[in-house]
């Protein structure tokens, strides 16, 4: 389990695009394709692309299933802990203010977000 720096943004900008970066990596698509897909999803349901329901619907259309993290220790179960418990597979974790990709127990981000507390996650099923 380790942090791996990854910035899918084509200009390597550090902007509020964590959803796009995370989904791009998890889907194996580039930033532009993911951005346009999420914008299209938002247009379809008449909501902003940054809305959790919009990018969640996009993930579901792309073979992901949503799971809730048990509330047994709401402030102590971190992204690092999740990685230890999930050594195989591709996941998108949401903290409420941030989104990060986990692949085979490693987390990919533009900063070390390992101490953040995830609320729910999506697992790539297909």
pLDDT by residue (tens digit) across 31-69? Answer: 999 999 999 999 999 999 989 999 999 999 999 999 999
Domain boundaries, the chain: 7-124
Q: Which two tokens stand for residue 16?
A: 């509020």
Distance of CA 8 to the CA centre of its chain: 12
pLDDT at 120: 96
Residue matched to tokens 């390992």: 114
E strand or H helix at 107: strand 106-109
pLDDT tens digits for 10-28? Answer: 999 999 999 999 999 999 9
Question: Domain 7-124 has what CATH class?
Answer: alpha beta
Q: Which two tokens stand for residue 53?
A: 């329901």
Where b means 16+ CB within 10 Å and e means fewer, 31-62 reads beebbebbeebbeeeeeebeeeebbbbbbeeb
- Global confidence as pTM: 0.94
């Amino acid at each position: 389990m380790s942090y791996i720096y990854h910035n899918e943004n084509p200009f390597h900008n550090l902007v509020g695009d964590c959803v796009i970066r995370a989904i791009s990596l998890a889907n194996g698509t580039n930033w532009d394709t993911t951005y346009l897909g999420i914008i299209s999803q938002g247009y379809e349901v008449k909501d902003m692309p940054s809305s959790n329901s919009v990018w969640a619907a996009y993930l579901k259309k792309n073979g992901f299933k949503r799971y809730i993290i048990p509330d047994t220790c709401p402030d102590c179960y971190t992204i690092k802990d999740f990685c230890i418990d999930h050594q195989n597979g591709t996941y998108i974790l949401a903290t409420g203010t941030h989104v990060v990709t986990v692949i085979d127990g490693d987390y990919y981000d533009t900063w070390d977000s390992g101490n953040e507390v995830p609320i729910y996650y999506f697992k790539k099923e297909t």
